[in-house]
């Protein structure tokens, strides 16, 4: 039930915000934090969420997932990112997530957090990110529970059009001149 509520919130939030929808895809690598750890390996990630303007920054609550194709681990996540500035845009991100698949015995909760740096032009961001990804539960050889994560990302920022309310449309019609314009003189 919580998942349905969360998905409903994310689906309706762009319409409420009236700004942009953020769509991103990335390729990332997970390497163990310790010599005894096991790597998550390379993965393909995607996330989506509304983008809220904060004058010199953007706040993006998002949901997404990563598929680590060498280990078969799927990591769904929900969280957000804060991007600051224009053109060269540093940012921070954090998500609650879970590890699903071998070598984890059961879905294992965790989190990720890190920093990013992108080149931003209208509607497109390209750059990289780095941080940590940690999962709870059992640890030991063969379980990729603590990893440094780094990746390359491309993101699209799709503007949403605002629909005029019926009241606004009536007001616009009311602004028209009441008297017709005079006919041009024949000359």
- Give the chain's domains with CATH numbers: 2-174 (2.40.160.20)
What average pLDDT does range 45-70 have in this prediction?
Answer: 95
pLDDT score for 145: 86
From the list 78, 79, 138, the residue with the least C-alpha distance to 108 is: 138
pLDDT 10s digits, 132-176? 999 987 665 667 889 999 999 999 999 987 655 544 444 444 444
Residues sharing a CB contact under 8 Å with residue 95, sequence separation 6 or more, in sequence order: 62, 64, 77, 78, 79, 80, 111, 112, 113
Q: What sign does the dihedral 52-57-63-67 (CA atoms) show? A: positive
Mean pLDDT computed over 123-128: 96
pTM (2 d.p.): 0.76
Residue 47: pLDDT over 60: yes
């Amino acid at each position: 039930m919580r998942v349905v509520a969360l998905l409903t919130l994310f689906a309706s939030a762009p319409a409420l915000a009236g700004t942009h929808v953020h769509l991103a895809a990335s390729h990332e690598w997970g390497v163990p934090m310790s010599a005894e750890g096991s790597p998550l390996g390379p993965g393909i990630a995607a996330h989506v969420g509304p983008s809220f303007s904060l004058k010199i920054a953007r706040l993006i609550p998002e949901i997404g997932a990563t598929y680590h194709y060498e280990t078969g681990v799927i990591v769904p996540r929900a969280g957000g990112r804060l991007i600051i500035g224009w053109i060269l845009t540093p940012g921070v991100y954090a998500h609650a997530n879970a590890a699903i698949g071998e070598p984890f015995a059961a879905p294992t909760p965790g989190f990720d957090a890190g920093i990013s740096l992108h080149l931003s032009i209208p509607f497109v961001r390209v750059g990289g990110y780095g941080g940590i990804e940690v999962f709870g539960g059992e640890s030991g050889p063969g379980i990729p529970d603590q990893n440094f994560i780094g990746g390359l990302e491309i993101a699209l920022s799709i503007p949403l059009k605002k629909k005029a309310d019926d009241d606004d449309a009536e007001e616009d019609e009311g602004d028209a001149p009441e008297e017709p314009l005079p006919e041009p003189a024949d000359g």
